[in-house]
Amino acid sequence: MLREAKEILNMVGFKVKHVVKSGEKPPEGTSIDGILVKILGYNWESLTDLISYGFSTLNFNPKRQGLKKPLKTPIATLEDIKYVLSSQTFTRRDAVGRTSELFDPCSIWEPLKFQVKQRLVPLNGKPWDEPLSEELVDEWCEILVKFVDIPKFKVSQSVVPKTANLK
């Protein structure tokens, strides 16, 4: 079946470079660390068949030519977020920007995204670049600290129970 899939993809102009199979270690060249494979913004551990969110870290630096300057120290706690936000303004644009960074094409993390999107509603009608009140910034700090833990959550990629008889 793999051969047929490669042939069909080749006929429509797709060249298959690598095939990663569930339950197996990723082939050479498909993973930076030999464990995780990046796919659709997720990290997939093919050996254990677990998916985690591919979000790396909160970074409040502005994008320049599509990239953000790395942080001097990573954000890991609520205090870290408050410290970073105390040195800059936090606006409606920033809140929407952080929310839109949650790329989740399979809607695995939709419950978390929904909670974050609900917090955008009170910002409707506010000017995009006007600093938010201290109360709203504190509320957003509480929301953003949840982003730190997102990559720690893992879900099974398989929807077929291991006990299922597929023969």
pTM assigned to the model = 0.73
Place of tokens 């009140």: 133
Tokens standing for residue 83: 């410290």
Pair 53, 151: CB distance under 8 Å: yes
pLDDT tens, position by position, 22-57: 889 998 888 889 999 998 889 999 999 999 988 777
Query: How far apart are the two ends of the chain, measured CA to CA in Å?
Result: 15
Q: How far is CA 62 from the centre of its chain?
A: 18
pLDDT tens, position by position, 125-137: 999 999 999 999 9
Pair 58, 81: CB distance under 8 Å: yes
The DSSP secondary-structure symbol of 14 reads P
In DSSP notation, 89-111 reads --BHHHHHHHHHT---TT-TTHH
pLDDT tens, position by position, 68-80: 888 777 788 888 8
